[in-house]
Each structure stands twice: as C-alpha cells, then as structure tokens.
Amino acid sequence: MGTSRKALRSPVHGSVIGIEVMVGQAVAAGQTLLLLEAMKMEVPLEAPVPGIVRAIAAAVGDVVDEGSTLVELEPGAAPVAPPKATPPPDPRVPRADLQVLLDRRELLEDASRPDAVARRRAQGGRTARENVADLLDAGSLLEYGAHAVAAQRSRRGLDDLQRNTPADGLITATGSVNAAQFGAERSRVAVMAYDYTVLAGTQGYFNHRKSDRLLEIADAQRLPLVLFAEGGGGRPGDVDSITIAGLHCTTFQRFARLSGQVPVVGIVSGRCFAGNAALLGCCDVVIATDNASIGMGGPAMIEGGGLGRVHADEVGPVSVQGPNGVIDLQVADEAAAVAAARRYLGYFQGPLSASAAAGGDALSLRLALPANRNALYDPRVIVNTVMDEGSVLELRRDFGVGVITALARIGGQAVAVVASQPRHLGGALDAPGCDKLARFMQLADAFALPIITFVDTPGFMVGPESEKTAMVRRAGRLFVTAASLRIPVFSVMLRRGYGLGAMALTAGHFHAPVAIAAWPSGEFGPMGIEGSVRLGFRKELEAAAPEEREALFERLVADAVAKGQALNMASHLEIDDVIDPAETRDWLQRGLRSVAGRPLAQRRGFVDAW
C-alpha cells in the first residue's frame, strides 16, 4: 500500500453484507463504503475523509476479524459533494410500529368502550380506571401488564379480545398515595383493581399472572396494597391455558403472605364473590359501599350446590356483613371508599404536625362522666375530645359493639384507640368484643402503632348464654394476643375496672401498660362490686333482719367502692397515677414521648383475617 493511502479497518468481527462503492470511486467524508453485520446489528464502515477508493479487500459474505484491512483510501482527492441529505423525520408523526402501540393504548381507555361505561354509569358506579386514578396521586401510576387480554384466543379474534377484554379485566400498578403529606418514599403503594366491565371482574389466566407479578413486587419492596375486589371469582371461559383445575394458582398464598408485613386494604362496591371475596377476606381492613354484596359463592355456585336460587344482592349484603364483622368501614359510594382508603393508609405513613389541635375542650372532660356511677355516657365524645381534631377513624363500628376500636392521631402521631362501650352490656366484654379487640391489637402491633385504652368495664360477660359463644376460648385469645404485643400500651381507667375483663383491656394486667392512670371516678375490684358483696358477705346478709338487709348491703357496697377508689388504688401502687380528666391528652403525649424511638423486637406475624 502506497504511503499516501489510508487503510480502513473493520470495526467489528462480523460478516460483510454489502459493498456500497467501487474501486476508483471518489467518496465524501462520512460516506458508507461497506456494511457489516455483527450479532444481528448492521455496522457501517465509513470514509473518515474525502478521497478515492484504491482497493477493496473483502467480498460480500466474507467473515472478517476486527481490525482487518477492508478498504484502501487515497485521501486528498478532488472533493466530492456529500450525498443529498434526506430531511429528518417529523417526531410528531408516529412511525408505523409506534402507531400500533398508540392504537392499542386507546383500546385501554374507558372512552373506547362507551357502551360498557354507560352501563356502569346506569348502575351508579365508576370504572376501575377512574377508581385507580382517584386513589393514586396524579402522575404517579406505573402500570404492569396493561396489554394482556383474556386467554381466549382459540375461540375469539384478537381484535375482539383487545377491544372487549382490556388488561384482562385487572389493573395492576404501583404509585403514590398522600405524597404531598408524607413524602415520596413513604407514600408508595401497589394497587390491584378488578374491572367489572370486563367479564364481570372475573379472575382469568393472565390476570392471575399479573396479580402474582404485582404481589411479588409488593412483597419485595414492602409496598402497602390496595385491592378493588368487585368481581365474580374464577373464569371458566379462559380455554387457552392447559390447566385442568388450576388449583396450583399461587395468587391467594402470595396475597395472604402480605398480612402483617404491609397494610392491605380491600375496597368493594357491588358484587364480590368467590375468588375475589377470598382475597378481600385476607385484607386488614374492608371498606364496602352501601350496595355491596359479599360472599364466598355467587348465585351460580349457590344454585349449582343445590341450595336454591338467590339474587346476587341477597348473598351477603352490608346489612349482614357489617354486624357480623366482615366490613370494617361502610361508606356511601366508590368515591367515599377511595377517600377512606387514602385516609386509612395515612395512619401508616408517618407523623403529621405535632401542633395539631385537640378535638375538643380539655375541661369538658371533667363533665364527661355522669355523677351517678351507674349512668350511661358516650365514650366516643371522650375519644374525639382527647385525640387530634378530625383524626378518629372508627373500624368495625357495627360489630362487637361493646368495644370501640379506632385509628387516630394525638399530637400528630398515629395511634390505635380502644374504648369500652357501657351502652352495651354495661361495657362487659362479650365474644364478638373479644374477637374485635384481639384482631385490632394484632393490627396495631404489626405496624407499630401504640395502643391507648379507655377502660370502663364490669369484666367478661358471663352466664349460660354467653358460654354458648365459646367465651372461654375467645377470652383466652385476648390474653394470648396481649402477651405477644411488642408495641407500647397506655391505659386510662375512666370508671369501672373489674376482674379479668379489665385486665384484658390493659394488655393482660394493670402493670403491662407502659403507664396506667385513672380518672378520680375510677373504681376497682376483682369482680363487680355489687356481685362481690353479695358473694363475699352472703352469710352476713342472710343473717340480717329482712328490713335491715338492703341497708346493710348498701353500706357494704359503699365500703367496697371506697376501698377500690382510684386514689386508694394508686396509694397501693396498683395503678401508676390518678389524673385530672382535663390532663388526659397531655398525660398521653408525655407517655408517648417517653417511648419514642424504642426499637421493637423483630418478629414475623400476620393479622388474623378474623
């Protein structure tokens, strides 16, 4: 090669698939001389400077090594005009492959199915995409598996499936909720929304695969999960899969594994049966609209089991599922359900302003209890007065009504609140109340919410009718649950603190809480005072003259009340303090500050479905 010639070497190890010039041809700088292929990618060999091609050392089909000489170029020849440049494509005009994607995306939007949306509107409902958009902060949605369709390609055309089974009837995504309040890191959530306008929200082959993918992400990244559970369970029409029964499906186990690891919220409007209901039942909290009907089997399954015909709305309406404990929060419609879910999640996302105002006048607490020790009052007034204004969210209000359970904030810090309800059995703990309280304790412990109890109870409910409800085991569940708590407990004794029931409401015994204080109205004993007097002084009462018996009984009761009075209890160190009711909020805040930052024991657990 002459000294004036420049050797152009192969930039890759590959095959020559094209020779664009001839020997003796003048070329411009940047002009392609040869085209090579390496690992299915086309790599041009370009002229670095203007010149004349003096030799080509390869032919089409040759395999060449990286660095081997392929062309000899004599630089400095008469300049050659570069090839006429083609105008760059307009990025506003989609390329053919991009247009296919954009068309496909349009089919995912509600606007592409006006008839389905109109039917939904006629039922008073919103679409799944509207609910997800309302739940997640604007611009935060990251969707998974949007392009799936029902596994029915062997019986329906692809265009039909794309138009009528978008996302295979399940929206799976991550995003943020309440980021403006709690920051981006604390606000991330996962969401699964069954779409009732697509095959009645049934669970298909591909949407099970979608849910498994999302549940894996939620587990790995510890993301709270929100489930929109409206739908009819399994879908027999998915004929493309080769499964027989499909009972190796992992969705239900993956979903259940999140219990106790991250907050799991279930929302249901309309009908929720079978598989959808099974997932709903695993949630920490169930938020249901007034028109919800929830059941482990829908009308078809009920009839198939030989159990007769029943209308879908009669399977498990809220009038049944509220009082029996299935529903935690009942709301009017989907908009209210989404708002409740956003609010619920906030209790697990971090503190708010410590300067939050109390819900009421502290001095009013001095008059919260009637002077008559046997008169009724409303404990919700006390809870709402002590906690931050507007922060109390009561759960399972219609179930286990002898105990009030609520999430709330005090000084901006989220807490779990328990209060005896004397309007039901005088505040005695019955079987539903035990179940409600035990599960609420688990919920608080799983997510490190301190528990505050306001106690006024005569103890556990007793008697033959009570024992028919398995009270022995259900009361035992309270003690077993309390014994495993890792979170701090604070107890305020409002009035009566009698027997085992009072112990159960204070995490097992009066010294189990970090601190326990009583209002001056507090009265205590190993059992109800009247009952203990009749039992303990039976001989004296029987020996008294009939006309003196009632007076003796009243004196003995008065003596027992005086002995069990709050200040006397405190003087014997059985409780930690007696406080002015107006000091309750301040006393609790000081107590919470005393345990702030205390690490919890590491323990894997779950929140009972019941």
Please spell the DSSP secondary structure of 529-568, one letter per residue.
Answer: HHHHHHHHTHHHHHHS-HHHHHHHHHHHHHHHHHHTBHHH
224 within 8 A of 189, measured Cβ to Cβ? yes
3-state class of 120 per DSSP? helix
Q: Which amino acid is at 431?
A: A
Quick one: pLDDT at residue 368? 97
In angstroms, rounded to a whole number, what is the distance separating the alpha carbons of residues 368 and 256?
42
In angstroms, rounded to a whole number, what is the distance separating the alpha carbons of residues 14 and 364?
87
3-state class of 398 per DSSP? coil
Q: Which amino acid is at 36?
A: L
Q: What are phi and psi of 300, to 5 degrees?
A: -65, -45
Q: What are phi and psi of 260, to 5 degrees?
A: 80, -10
Interval 184-199: pLDDT, tens: 999 999 999 999 999 9
3-state class of 174 per DSSP? strand
Q: What are phi and psi of 34, to 5 degrees?
A: -130, 155
Quick one: pLDDT at residue 233? 85
234: which strand partners?
A: 203
Handedness of CA 339, 342, 345, 349 (dihedral sign): negative
Handedness of CA 291, 170, 395, 135 (dihedral sign): negative
Residue 157: count of CB within 10 angstroms of its CB:
10
Q: Is 395 left (phi over 0), alpha (psi -120 to 50) or beta?
A: beta
In angstroms, rounded to a whole number, what is the distance separating the alpha carbons of residues 223 and 215?
9
503 within 8 A of 463, measured Cβ to Cβ? no
Quick one: pLDDT at residue 228? 98
pTM: 0.89
Quick one: pLDDT at residue 1? 53
Interval 153-186: pLDDT, tens: 999 999 999 999 999 999 999 999 999 999 999 9
Q: Which residues contact 157 (CB under 8 A, 6 or more apart)?
A: none
Residue spans of the chain under pLDDT 50 = none
Quick one: pLDDT at residue 83? 64
In angstroms, rounded to a whole number, what is the distance separating the alpha carbons of residues 323 and 400?
8
Q: Which residues contact 294 (CB under 8 A, 6 or more apart)?
A: 268, 272, 273, 277, 280, 288, 315, 316, 321, 326, 327
Which H/E stretch holds residue 520? none
Among 425, 560, 570, 427, which Cα is nearest to 496's? 427
Quick one: pLDDT at residue 78? 60
Both tokens of 232, joined, read 């009819």
46: which strand partners?
A: 32
Q: Which residues contact 80 (CB under 8 A, 6 or more apart)?
A: 26, 27, 28, 31, 50
What's the residue count for the chain?
A: 610
Both tokens of 355, joined, read 């300067």
Query: From the CA atom positions of the chain, what is the Rg in Å?
Result: 36
